[in-house]
Structure 1
């Protein structure tokens, strides 16, 4: 494990500020895990983010100080970060918008900035140009950009990052589903509506980026199976009404479950997990499925192939026939399902642990702090 940055004798430990915005649960989970690891290694950590993040992830329970982000205006957010960063040795922002706010807050202060890109923003036309400008501003302002997948590292370099590195982000070990006998297992499936038929599980925000359109196209093919499998989709989002109208109009074997906090329990009773996203970095659902030993069919996008390797059936994005066929093959081939289950569990052993992730971040912090001290900052 990398050495923790050690301050000169008589000086306080390094104060690292983590900046978090609204949005991805993946970055919130990561910041919670990272904060706990940094505090355990003697750093002082402040998390600056929306109150909803503190309520959802409990950074103070991990030993960090929490500073609320005034998100009513950009100026208020910048002021919040500037105040939280007084006396900090380093600021670490998570995401493009938090990175931009942190860069503006630190302007002229000479404090090293690390920005982790957990995802990317897809936009076209004028909005796309604005996003590219934001990416260039953040990439060039950061001392180091950490991308959680290789394509994000390449994107940061293309935008002018002076130092962009791959940083695979570990998530906490999955919460195990409760042990259940056959009766409880069948009861759980019955509550979902999957009695004597296969259960397919998808999890994600109900919007265009998660690929639910092609997924429902695939479900049309599954109607012809006897019996047709049930596709259960956990998640909420702006496209819920549109998706439900289509499910009803076409008689699709699909059920929208809404927001759920029991994904391990859902995975425990699923036959196949489906990830149909347009793009993913390190998909939390893919990681949970492989940990749970559930066969996974996923789109070969972003960081998914390097995450899962040969432990999943990979299909192109926006190819409903390929997606439908991959699921049908698994439902007809228990042997292949067993192979994927074994490969998935073997793959999870290769992924970085939380300790590995904290050690890597500490090595980056140590390098930056030492460079800054050598430069007389």
Structure 2
């Protein structure tokens, strides 16, 4: 693709807006930034300072502007200043998109919004989220949804142009040294306490909608196996204390290991990957598991069927017995286990690459910023 800074023309200037940012959307913005900068686009990433520390947007060639995740007037003013001479603003996630709408006010700067996941809330807060969704969908020039469900939701909510987004899984960025990245599986399993027993891996923030309560319920049912599988959950969040209390009180074979920067190594050492809830529309864990040839057991929720096809063991949501039985069946059936590994490799090959993702986004930017010829 040709550079976006041809002779005599200033390069396209984009602002990427990220809120708290889950792992998927943060990694996507990092990957997008790198690809856009390589194609001659100027990129400013507006995100909390901790997101820049984790994802090093400046290292990808962007200017980073610290914008807190709250919608207070200070963060909106900081965002407004950063967007002053932008040709286009691209916001990721509902809350970041709403801040971008406030910051742009009545300006004619095109706004592109990517919805990576459906926002979760209950009670009065759920009503507020629906209002935010409507405001954002109507203000955006284009809404990109990472699953068909999200695209349909954007259309129902009032988007004038909603499209399915290509979202390539960025290659893992190891913060540890290469010798750590290549740790043998046996060493990883020993560190986790999974020698001579199956290792089952779950990854994601410890929030209610992730389904970890269901996972603890399911783990009761495989306690009678010999050897007893060990479940390891990598992530942090508000449910940490409640989950830990249950694990101790009920003597469950589950370990919470907190936030880890070596998730690809943990996953590669696992026998199965577990996705018990519908927390993500385009699950990063599901993608990493299939890439790593680790069979996946997942609740049939969100966009999981669209993402993995027949390359995973999908079970009804909110059914701990069905989830537990699917795990046991897979551990007991080496033929099915190998078929799922092969199916995962084939399915992963159908997903868009990082280059294809950048190319699609850039074509949307071109549509919205190129001057149209006079008729």
TM-score norm. by structure 2 comes to 0.94
In the TM superposition, what are the counterparts of 1:308-319 in structure 2 within 5 Å? 308-319=308-319
Q: Secondary structure at the residue paired with 2:349?
A: helix
Structure 2 Cα separation of the partners of residues 209 and 280 of structure 1 = 9
Seen in structure 2, the aligned counterparts of structure 1 residues 112 and 22 have a Cα distance that, compared at 3 Å, is: same
In structure 1, the partner of 2:135 is 137
TM-superposed CA distance for 1:121, in Å, is: 1.5
Question: Contact 1:91/1:113 (CA < 8 Å) preserved in 2?
Answer: yes
Question: Contact 1:5/1:362 (CA < 8 Å) preserved in 2?
Answer: no
Question: Contact 2:181/2:262 (CA < 8 Å) preserved in 1?
Answer: no
Structure 2 Cα separation of the partners of residues 25 and 308 of structure 1 = 19
Structure 1 Cα separation of the partners of residues 201 and 340 of structure 2 = 16
In structure 2, the partner of 1:125 is 123
TM-superposed CA distance for 1:339, in Å, is: 0.6
Greater CA deviation, 252-261 or 169-178?
Answer: 169-178
In structure 2, the partner of 1:301 is 301
Greater relative CO (CA pairs within 8 A, separation 6+): 1
The answer for unaligned runs of 5 or more in structure 2 is 175-179
In structure 1, the partner of 2:177 is none
Question: Contact 1:90/1:111 (CA < 8 Å) preserved in 2?
Answer: yes
TM-score norm. by structure 1 comes to 0.93
Seen in structure 2, the aligned counterparts of structure 1 residues 375 and 94 have a Cα distance that, compared at 3 Å, is: farther
TM-superposed CA distance for 1:244, in Å, is: 1.3
Seen in structure 2, the aligned counterparts of structure 1 residues 6 and 366 have a Cα distance that, compared at 3 Å, is: farther
Task: Map Cα deviations across residues 278-313 of structure 1 (whole Å, 9 max, x no partner).
Answer: 332111111111111111101111111111111100
TM-superposed CA distance for 1:236, in Å, is: 1.3
Q: Does 1:58 align with 2:56?
A: yes
In the TM superposition, what are the counterparts of 1:148-159 in structure 2 within 5 Å? 148-159=146-157
TM-superposed CA distance for 1:235, in Å, is: 1.2
Task: Map Cα deviations across residues 325-375 of structure 1 (whole Å, 9 max, x no partner).
Answer: 1100111011111111111111111110100000000010011113xx339
Structure 1 runs of 4+ off > 6 angstroms?
none
The size of the alignment, in residue pairs, is: 369
Question: Contact 1:175/1:264 (CA < 8 Å) preserved in 2?
Answer: no
In the TM superposition, what are the counterparts of 1:241-280 in structure 2 within 5 Å? 241-280=241-280
Q: Does 1:329 align with 2:329?
A: yes
Task: Map Cα deviations across residues 22-69 of structure 1 (whole Å, 9 max, x no partner).
Answer: 131211111111011011101111111111111111111111111221
TM-superposed CA distance for 1:245, in Å, is: 1.3
Structure 1 Cα separation of the partners of residues 79 and 373 of structure 2 = 24
In structure 2, the partner of 1:15 is 13
TM-superposed CA distance for 1:179, in Å, is: 4.4
The answer for unaligned runs of 5 or more in structure 1 is none
Q: Secondary structure at the residue paired with 1:206?
A: coil
In structure 1, the partner of 2:88 is 90
Task: Map Cα deviations across residues 218-254 of structure 1 (whole Å, 9 max, x no partner).
Answer: 1010111112111111111111111111111212111
